[in-house]
Amino acid sequence: MIRLEDVHKQYGHQKVLDGVSFEIRTGSVSTIMGRSGAGKSVLIRHLIGLETPDSGKILIDNSNIVGMGARELNKIRRRFGVLFQEGALFDSVSVKENVAFPLREHLKLSEKRIADVVHEKLALVGMTGHEDKYPAALSGGMRKRVGLARALALDPELVFFDEPTSGLDPITKGVIYRLIEETHSVRSITYVLVSHDIEGVLDVSDEVMLLFEGKIAMKGTPEEIRSSADPAVRQFLTGSAEGPMAIE
């Protein structure tokens, strides 16, 4: 589904991505881990075409999106869903209108069909009964669930999660990870998570990558990551002050 080939990105003198290469299989749940400031959000912005690398290729189903025209890129983006870090809901409209937004924007559906899809997606994330509430009345976890319903509204082939459990308490984190597993099992969508929440992502992922010093320091199954002797991986997993990751 996704292949990166030697992707570089630099801002001024700061090198953020320094030859990132990896593949993500169709239908998998894959996570990119790394410290805060390691470049994870920069990487996900490249994957969804919001930023362009200085060099390298980003292929979605063998189509290189680097340098792609706006019209062609938008066609590919139609196949994406994105759950942003803070949910990114529209504050001025209700929960149901937030979920309905991509349906109204991209499809010509009857109001009855839109209502049916909204009901289906909200039920999928456990938000039935909250349709008429506004984002300000929701907890952080509820906003994330509505954001996930909206990300799934168009039945995408690929969903990106940018720090899906950031700012949530341990119980609510567990709810979000369970929803990731449950929604993935309904349809074999490709899920790509960006996170530094180690234990949660190791429980739900098929493959995990560690982004360190602008490169993928290691890629493997959760079991391979847990048993790795790589110093950077060990330091990240244990939270040790000792290791190659500098303490700032």
Query: Which two tokens mark 140?
Result: 């952080």
pTM: 0.89
Q: 45 phi and psi, to 5 degrees? A: -65, -30
CA pair distance 218, 211, nearest whole angstrom: 8
CA pair distance 163, 202, nearest whole angstrom: 14
Q: What does the pLDDT read at residue 248?
A: 61
Query: Which two tokens mark 145?
Result: 């669930």
Other Cβ atoms within 10 Å of 18 Cβ, number: 14
CA angle, 31 as apex, 206 and 90 as ends, to 5°? 125
Q: Is the pLDDT of residue 87 over 70?
A: no
Instruction: Transcribe 234-247 into DSSP letters.
Output: HHHHHT-SSSSS--
CA pair distance 169, 180, nearest whole angstrom: 17
Tell me the pairing of strands 207-212 and 190-195: unpaired
In the predicted model, what is the mean pLDDT of residues 95-112? 91
Q: Is the pLDDT of residue 59 over 70?
A: yes
Q: What does the pLDDT read at residue 244?
A: 87
What CA–CA distances, in Å, run from 78 to 11, 135, 150, 157, 158? 29, 25, 13, 9, 10
Q: What does the pLDDT read at residue 101?
A: 92
* DSSP tag of 112: H
Instruction: Transcribe 172-234 into DSSP letters.
Output: HHHHHHHHHHHHHHHS--EEEEEE--HHHHHHH-SEEEEEETTEEEEEE-HHHHHT---HHHH
What's the one-letter identity of residue 23? E
Q: Is the pLDDT of residue 246 over 80?
A: no
Q: 33 phi and psi, to 5 degrees? A: -105, 165
Q: Is the pLDDT of residue 18 over 90?
A: yes
Which of 59-68, 147-156, 177-186, 226-235 is the least confident region? 177-186
